[in-house]
Amino acid sequence: MNKLFSFARLAHSYFNGVSQNLLYYFFKIEPVRYSNAVFLINTQCNSRCAMCSSYTIKPLPGEMTTEQVIDTLNKLKKHNSNIKISFVGGEPTLRPDFDLILGHCNKLNIIFTIVTNGIILNENKAENILLHKPFAVHVSLDSLDKDTYKKIRGVDRVESVKTNINILIQIAKKLRSKTFIGIKTVITSENINEISNLSDFAQSVKAGGIHYQPVLVFSEDHGSARLMPKQSEEINKQVNILLERIKNNNKIILNSISNLKSWTKYFEGSIEKRRFCSTSMQNIFIMSDGKIKLCERYDETIGNILNYDSIDSIIKNNNAIIHRKMMTSCQRHCSFIFSRGIKDYISLVIRHIRN
């Protein structure tokens, strides 16, 4: 029942976001409430991913303290009681106070998800996380092959991650947890031939699902550029395999049919002009030092949460107004990025009821 209540809260936020988009698009009425917060609570990471631009070996000076993170969570809850927070990094599970942070989310009845590389997700850590009742835990897995994994993630830990995914799923079963456990896969030139095999793995371990995200190229001289797939024949082959599986009622693949069909054009570098980008209307991105952005693709910030009494005062300032105007008309090549719509939530509710 608690899970169904969370779905209802998410649906409320979703429709609130849709209405804000329409009001801004037609009447330029500024948004009053954000439905999603991506909280980068640290930059320290135990992976060295070629496509990442936000990891560090050690914590950066100026990262928010436990008290500052807790205060930020309070402000987010006050801003929108139904807000969904996604904890990312770096590697969020490396924070020594991560258990305290999740405990406070639970205390405030905040809907939250976690994105982790799964490297240190041992039995104790997995159980502690699940006991805090996250809405979802997404584990990154880009290859089943040792060498390919290391080329993408920079470390030789694929067997650990596969084992820890199993551990997480088994503990969730033991606890009768309703947490959605998914696998996230970044599509690159190194693993394009493995895409369908990864969905087989997700099916075999009984994960909640797998979703694929084509690699995001930050700039031509960034490490992500060399990972852009150019093997058009293999891309089409893998897309067709996934499409066929979806048509045969395979529930493990979370990407929509339209999302899968867009990969070919994306990898070719084709850009379809869009009228409106809603990212800056629905999402706020909180950096590890408290700075807030309206889109992770932009360097510009609209303020620092540590210097404001509330989220409301930040999203209404002049910087926010200027950035929203710029970002809603943005034509950057990232519209493929996975996001859930109402059909996805309905599908998850049905799956929850059946289970």
Please report, in tens digits, the pLDDT of each residue of the chain (355 residues total): 466 677 678 777 778 888 998 999 999 999 999 999 999 999 999 999 988 877 778 888 899 999 999 999 999 999 999 999 999 999 999 999 999 999 999 999 999 999 999 999 999 999 999 999 999 999 999 999 999 999 999 999 999 999 999 999 999 999 999 999 999 999 999 999 999 999 999 999 999 999 999 998 776 767 777 888 888 899 999 999 999 999 998 889 998 888 898 888 888 877 677 788 888 998 999 999 999 999 988 889 999 999 999 999 999 999 999 999 999 988 776 655 545 555 555 555 555 555 5
> Residue 181 pairs with which residues in a beta bridge?
137
> Residue 112 pairs with which residues in a beta bridge?
85
Report whether 41 contacts 288 (CB < 8 A): yes
Nearest to 288 by CA among 276, 301, 271: 301
CA distances from 20 to 59, 74, 277, 284 (A): 37, 23, 12, 14
d(CA 55, CA 45): 6
DSSP string computed for 75-120: HHHHH-TT-EEEEESS-GGGSTTHHHHHHHHHHHT-EEEEEE--TT
The model carries a pTM of 0.92
Residues in the chain: 355
In CATH terms, 2-21+29-354 corresponds, of 3.30.420.40, 3.20.20.70, 2.60.40.10, 3.10.105.10, to: 3.20.20.70
- Angle among Cα 293, 299, 302 to the nearest 5 degrees reads 35
Report whether 40 contacts 89 (CB < 8 A): yes
d(CA 301, CA 279): 14
User: What local confidence, expressed as pLDDT, does residue 3 receive?
Assistant: 63
Q: What is the CA radius of gyration of the chain?
A: 20
80 phi and psi angles, rounded to 5 deg: -150, 110
Tokens of 311: 């989220």
Report whether 57 contacts 83 (CB < 8 A): no
* H or E, element range at 353: helix 342-354
Name, in order, each residue with C-beta under 8 angstroms of 114's C-beta and a sequence gap of 6 or more: 86, 87, 92, 93, 129, 134, 136, 137, 138
